[in-house]
Structure 1
Amino acid sequence: MSGIPTIVAQRQVIAGDKQLTVSTIRIAADYYDTVLFDDSPDKRHSGQVLGGFVIDASSKRANDRETAMEQHREALNAVREEHPRPVA
């Protein structure tokens, strides 16, 4: 592997007032990251918590593709069903 992150799965979701992208990348053989990006023009959800993620600020790491895809699915469900909330 060349050391360049590779997109494994990426999905843009528009639900209610949310315009977010769920992205899972492979960084190394045993290192995957899933993140949520705020795609709204005013970045209204950036920095808020949704599904255990801080939008535009945190990621969840996985050591294998199966776990990474499970996290990706969980993030998609959270985007569709939950409401972002400020960081406590």
Structure 2
Amino acid sequence: MAQLLVRNLDVSVKEALRRRAQRHGRSMEEEARLILRQAAEAEQLPPEGPGLGSQMAALFAGAGLNEPIGEWQGQEAAPAVVGS
């Protein structure tokens, strides 16, 4: 097991950790380990919910666009044609 020493911790943070540990029936050290473990695990998880592309596809699902939209990289944009 590795060890970690945290210096210059605000007294208010230490006191809040002590109260939190007491509420959960744990030592301050165990409470700190749990908090750090949860934070590290959260960083490794993929983002929750659909990605931006899936959100956009769902938003425009009923717009009548049945063909995929090609990539525009390197192409000039043309003005929109408004029906009369």
**TM-score scaled to structure 1, two decimals?**
0.29
Specify which structure has the higher proportion of strand.
Answer: 1
Tell me which protein shows more helix as a share of its residues: 2
Larger Rg: 2
Higher relative contact order (CA 8 A, sep 6+): 1
